[in-house]
Structure 1
Amino acid sequence: MLKAKRLILFSLFTFCIVNLVSAQVKDTLLKPVDTIKTAPIRVVRIDSSKKKVDTLKQKYVNPGKVAGRKAIFKSLIIPGWGQLYNNQLLVDELNAKGEKTGHFWQKTYTLGKIGLIYTGFTLLTLSYIDSDKNYKIFLKEAQFRAQNPGKKENLALERYGDTNVLDAQAIYKRNRQIVIFSYFAVYAVNVVDAYVAARLHYFNIDDTISFKITPTLINNPNTMYGFNGSPALKLSLRF
């Protein structure tokens, strides 16, 4: 009888163990382990407020600015080249209008300006050579007299005293410096003239733009004799 009870208990214990193991195996089969890690998905935001670029619309280009820049560039490289460029612009405009009479005068005017530019450079060069030559002569004489008091090296300068020699040396040195400054001034005038002429070529001037100056009287409250009118000029603009 005792053996029968032990056998029954052993059978129940074995049955429980078997059921527990089978349940765990079944749970393992139903929930497989995911060993593959998936990469996170990046969310791309679309900015709907961004304006679309209109590629069909062309950007406005000011022809006067373009011509002015070209004229400056050419004048900086070679003085007078900008004037020739402006002359070509006017010639092309005259050809487009069918006008042939203005070519001669336009060419004469342009060559006259270029001639003045190079005439100025030539005169300045001659002046610089003369001032530099005389400066060296008086400088040498001043140095000789400083080292040899009472003596004169250049017989052509005997009529000049020591003070006059020093003054002449300073004057010619200053003249030489002024000539160098004048070189830059003429060069700058050449560039400015080319730029202004190029810009004015595209400046709109027609019959609808005019002005008129007429004499008139204005009221003057500060008067002592009862006359309130003061003479003035009246400017009238019409667009």
Structure 2
Amino acid sequence: MANLALGQVKDTLLRPADTIKTTPIRAVRIDSSNKKADTIKQKYVNPGKVAGRKAIFRSLIIPGWGQLYNNQLLNEKLNAKGEKTGHFWQRTYTLGKVGLIYGGFTALTLSYIESRKNYNIFLKEAQFRARNPGQKENPDIARYDDTNVLNAQSIYKRNSQIVIFSYFAVYAVNVVDAYVAARLNYFNIDDTISFKISPTLINNPNMMYGFNGSPALKLSLRF
């Protein structure tokens, strides 16, 4: 059996197993005429608008905070240009507006207190005279007749109301000033600004027939 086994040879008629696995290759057609290039660009962010919104938000929370924020923007702008010194008056003006805001609030507060004090004095005197005809309670205003007492009471009451409206006016001016100053920090005012004046025609709606254009001058600013 060993001799028979050794005497066997490999059958060459059998087909060898195919170990190479092939996959069909799909042809890819490149047609650049039907494909558009990716034109997605990064959205532009206006730094002036962003700074203006931040200034408004700060001024609405605390009056004067927007002006302090603008002073910070000014310092960053000057440091970016290498101007660490100078512009003293510009910084002083920016910070001085904070003092003006709170100085205005202080003056209005003192005026309101004084108006309410005098209003209560004349109101009390008017009420006393209404209950006691012909008599006067406060010797300091005894020289005023009944009509003058009532008029003074109305004047001081109106002054108190005006002061209250003035509070809102100062508050609104504080917000508007902070917004405008923040926008101006990013406004280009360098020497590259130029303008051009050229003749042009504008439409005249008053003319019904024929040529309705009127000669004019066109001003173009470039900065």
Could you give the per-residue CA deviations for residues 63-94 of structure 1, whole angstroms, max 9, x where no partner exists?
11110000000011111110110111111111
Deviations 1:34-84 (A, max 9, x none): xxxxxxxxxxxxxxxxxx9x6953211111111000000001111111011
TM-score after normalising by structure 2? 0.69
Q: Which residue of 1 aligns with 2:65?
A: 81
Q: Tell me the alpha carbon deviations over residues 15-43 of structure 1, each in whole angstroms, 9 at most, x when there is no partner.
A: xxxxxxxxxxxxxxxxxxxxxxxxxxxxx
User: Are residue 193 (structure 1) and residue 177 (structure 2) matched?
Assistant: yes
TM-score of the pair, normalised by structure 1: 0.64
Say whether the 8 Å CA contact 1:208–1:238 is kept in structure 2: no
After the TM superposition, list the runs of 4 or more consecutive aligned residues in structure 1 that deviate by more than 6 angstroms: none
Structure 2: gaps of 5 or more residues: 1-35, 197-216
Q: Distance in 2 between matches of 1:84 and 1:165?
A: 47
- 1:84-163 alignment, distance < 5 Å: 84-102=68-86, 104-163=88-147
Q: Which amino acid aligns with 2:47?
A: P
The CA deviation at 1:201 is 1.2
**CA displacement at 1:104 relative to structure 2:** 3.0
What is aligned with 1:32? Answer: none
Distance 2:104 2:189 in 1: 33
Larger Rg: 1
Whose helix fraction is larger, Structure 1's or Structure 2's? 1
Cα pair 1:94 1:102 within 8 Å, conserved: no
One-letter code of the match for 1:199? R
Question: Which stretch of structure 1 is more off in the superposition, 101-110 or 177-186?
Answer: 101-110
Residue equivalent to 2:152: 168
Identity over aligned residues, as a percent? 83
Q: CA deviation at 1:103?
A: 5.0
Structure 1: segments with no counterpart, 5+ residues: 1-51, 213-233
Alignment correspondent of 2:52: 68
